[in-house]
Structure 1
Amino acid sequence: MKHLLTVLALWTFAILPPVAAAEPAEPVVIGLSYPRTGHYKEEGLAQMRAALLAVEQINARGGVLGRPLALTHRDSAARPEKARANIDSMAAEGATMFFGSVSSAEAIAAGEQAKQHDRLYFATIGYSNDVTTEKGHRHIFRESTSATMTGRALGQYLTRHFPDKKYFYITADYNWGHTSESSLREHTDTLDSNVHPGVTVPFPNARRVDHVSALEQAAASDADVLVLVLYGNELVRAMRIADSMGLNRSKQIVVPNLTQTVLEQIGPSISVGTIGAEHWLWRVPEQENSQAGRDFIEHYKKKYEHYPSSASASAYTVIYQWADAVERSRSFATGAVQKALENHSYSLLKGPSQWRSFDHQNVQTVYVIKVNDLATVIGHPSRQDYFEIVHQLNGEQAAIGHEQWLAARKAAGQAETLQ
């Protein structure tokens, strides 16, 4: 009898249809266009590292709406035409949203191309005002701060600590350079170019002789403050030349957007005392008691054996904020995600931030920073304690107001709402 029951059980199992394995959920593709080569490749690498970490973490917790994320990426070399081609290529691959950039011109170009595909584009880095003013549209969001936000924060600090000083400006000849210089002049009361002169250097192909000539003019001036409105490799070169000329010892050097990745290329020893601004640095989570920020730093350090920069934080924030908007709207559709982001307030890697609805600017605290002396830098176990936060300005006070935004749009012949 026992033998018969065994045979029947085996026979029953044999004739039952096999249980179909659950089909894996189709991945959701997100696209990163970033400079892997060229002037800003270090900032690009920082974005890629953070993006990989964010995707890995989100997938480990079950993905977005039950679907895993897949990251596709292309090298833009920070060139607008390459950024446009990258968006087209990744759209053909099925990417549902895009992010990246270091150059403002690159961000604008990529955002315009994303609009053609009815996809959102998040400018991780791109400080020129026009990214979210004259060139703004409903498909682009900017995570980093604007030139106005930087100028207002720096202006408060410099006016207080360097009153009645003469300035000399050396500026990269493109949108970011011009809007950054204009904002800083306005907020330091240095608009009179006869008293506070300046020169421009070509962008993006400035030669060493261009920087030498500009710095020689600064050295010959009676300026107390030297403002280098430069970025990436061009700032690295200019700072090294300034050091060889002793300008970093005879004048106060100010760099509107002074990032960790650029400082590491310059070398902290020749940058001691340089003043700049940032929208995030790894000291911020500790200062603002952000547990998510602390966790991000620890996970990043464990994975890459390096502290994250603001470029890393921007890319990481963009992916998490997009994923959160998808979850809250229960949709991957561009319009639904856009609406979920607009006027959404959150705290992730720092204190409160908001995606503003009328211009899609991320409104957040701006930090004025000063490069530490070498003993402080190397005294920290990381040997990356580069900056002291000497002042900060909250996002609402720093960001351009609605009336000013409308005036800029009207002057450019743009609609009064994002289109």
Structure 2
Amino acid sequence: MRMFSALALWVAMSVSALAADPIIIGLNYPRTGHYKEEGLAQMRGALLAIDEINSQGGVLGRDIHIITRDTASRPEKAARNVDKLIGDGAVMLFGSVSSAVAIAASARAQQLNTLYFATIGYSNDVTGKNGHRYVFRESSSATMTGRALGKYLSENMPNKKYFYITADYTWGHSSEQALRENTNSLDSSQHKGVLLPFPTAKQSDYNASLQQAKDSGADIIALVLYGHDLVRAMRTAETMGLTDQVQFIAPNLTQSVIEQAGATVMSGVIGTEHWLWRAPELEQSKAGLAFVENFNKAYDLYPPSAAASAYTVVKQWADAVNRSRSYESEAVINALENYSYTLLKDAAQWRAFDHQNVQTVYVVQANERNAVMAHPSKQDYLKILERFDAEQTAQTHEQWQAERSKAGKPTRLQ
């Protein structure tokens, strides 16, 4: 009897210890190389979400523990990292800034039946022709940003001549196409453009591209560039005296770009954001305002969109685990599909047919330096010009199916 009691106690203690083991998630992000600033922001946002969840009891009674790998924004390295992160026990993976990284890493995760969140990665291909059952994207798509920015420009700056300088990879191509379609600038003989090598552009490439833009007589120069590339292009444009002559636009205009390039250089540039720290106030989001305050307390910084995306991913994954009562990818996928929620701004939804997060997109403009410096934080980089809800910007189911069919892909996620 004593032996039976001791055995029962040992089993109970073992079960209790097992239940208390942390659940592991993996962040696959750029700690070095292109987009390392956006990568750091993702890490900070994720850590804040994990601390909050763990302080409230974790998920299904277990704390979350994060492990990380550096992608250096290289797709092949990101894909290799997936094996290592899963091998180290991660049950969910997230991260990315480059769309090419998101596509490569999520494809490998699919082969290993593991859920992957593309935290950032704006190319249509992420949830379009390269979309699959195991990938969800938190950020907006190229179509969403292109339609929002295009609608604003068409209404407020009609009949302008464009010149496109575009990063030569999947995000750049789809973003340029979306902008052309929504600004009546599809005629490339009238609205010229040039591709910038990615990720190997040299200073001579920036000089030559911007000189062509200047010589074209364009009213609007579209820099379909992101992160480090956008910073270099804008610094070059200022040196050439172009920033005072034409309107510059950038499909994805982020806080980190303005921090790197400087408010004086970026002043007046128009673009889009899927989140900025001014959004919670506009949308009257208590959770969003709390996130801004808590992030500022933790890091002495106001959060950029990359941080908000990572925070949202971790929070939404944990919520789906709790609702499904399972850490298994299939159960979490089912809990996420067509799930609507409100977190850091207004309502959003994880669509079932493409796993795209459909949400409000903001057209923004970089503030002048004196406006930035007037705010106590010295970080009031962007003002919201207009907001567009998902119904105005997102691809329809029929458009998504047509895109998949054209690429020879199934019209249902596999």
**d(CA) in 1 for partners of 2:258 and 2:100?**
23
The answer to which of 19-28 and 383-392 deviates more is: 19-28
> How big is the shift at 1:396?
2.1
Larger-Rg structure: 1
Question: In the alignment, which of 347, 363, 372 is matched to residue 368 of structure 1?
Answer: 363
> How big is the shift at 1:116?
1.4
**d(CA) in 2 for partners of 1:101 and 1:120?**
14
Within 5 A, what are the aligned runs for 1:4-19? none
- Whichever residue aligns with residue 174 of structure 1, its letter is Y
> How big is the shift at 1:211?
0.7
**d(CA) in 2 for partners of 1:83 and 1:360?**
21
> How big is the shift at 1:219?
1.0
Within 5 A, what are the aligned runs for 1:235-274? 235-274=230-269
TM-score (norm 1): 0.95
**Which residue in 1 is equivalent to 2:4?**
none
Cα distance change, pair 77–20 in 1 and its aligned pair in 2 (3 A): closer
> How big is the shift at 1:263?
1.2
> How big is the shift at 1:232?
1.4
> How big is the shift at 1:56?
1.0
SS of alignment partner, residue 271 of structure 2? strand
> How big is the shift at 1:169?
0.5
**d(CA) in 2 for partners of 1:55 and 1:20?**
26
Aligned length: 403
SS of alignment partner, residue 136 of structure 2? strand
**Which residue in 1 is equivalent to 2:272?**
277
Within 5 A, what are the aligned runs for 1:27-106? 27-106=22-101
Pair 1:164 & 2:164 matched: no
1:68-87 per-position Cα deviation (integer Å, ceiling 9, x unaligned): 10000000011101111111
Pair 1:396 & 2:399 matched: no
Within 5 A, what are the aligned runs for 1:370-389? 370-389=365-384
- Whichever residue aligns with residue 190 of structure 2, its letter is V
1:146-171 per-position Cα deviation (integer Å, ceiling 9, x unaligned): 00000000011100111111011100
SS of alignment partner, residue 250 of structure 1? coil
1:78-129 per-position Cα deviation (integer Å, ceiling 9, x unaligned): 1101111111001001100000000000000110111111110000100000
Within 5 A, what are the aligned runs for 1:150-299? 150-299=145-294
> How big is the shift at 1:351?
0.0
> How big is the shift at 1:20?
6.7
TM-score (norm 2): 0.96
**d(CA) in 2 for partners of 1:228 and 1:132?**
23
**d(CA) in 2 for partners of 1:403 and 1:202?**
33
- Whichever residue aligns with residue 278 of structure 1, its letter is E
**Which residue in 1 is equivalent to 2:411?**
416
**d(CA) in 1 for partners of 2:348 and 2:13?**
46
Runs (4+) of structure 1 moved beyond 4 Å? 17-22
Pair 1:344 & 2:345 matched: no
- Whichever residue aligns with residue 211 of structure 1, its letter is Y
**Which residue in 2 is equivalent to 1:358?**
353
> How big is the shift at 1:416?
1.0
**d(CA) in 2 for partners of 1:302 and 1:195?**
50
How large is the Cα RMSD of the aligned pairs? 1.3
Which consecutive residues of structure 1, in runs of 5 or more, have no partner in the other structure? 1-16
**Which residue in 2 is equivalent to 1:13?**
none
Cα distance change, pair 270–139 in 1 and its aligned pair in 2 (3 A): same
Cα distance change, pair 166–41 in 1 and its aligned pair in 2 (3 A): same
1:203-230 per-position Cα deviation (integer Å, ceiling 9, x unaligned): 1101110110000011111110010001
Which consecutive residues of structure 2, in runs of 5 or more, have no partner in the other structure? 1-8
1:138-193 per-position Cα deviation (integer Å, ceiling 9, x unaligned): 00000000000000000111001111110111001111101000000000000011
Question: In the alignment, which of 129, 147, 151 is matched to residue 124 of structure 2?
Answer: 129
* Fraction of identical pairs, as percent: 59
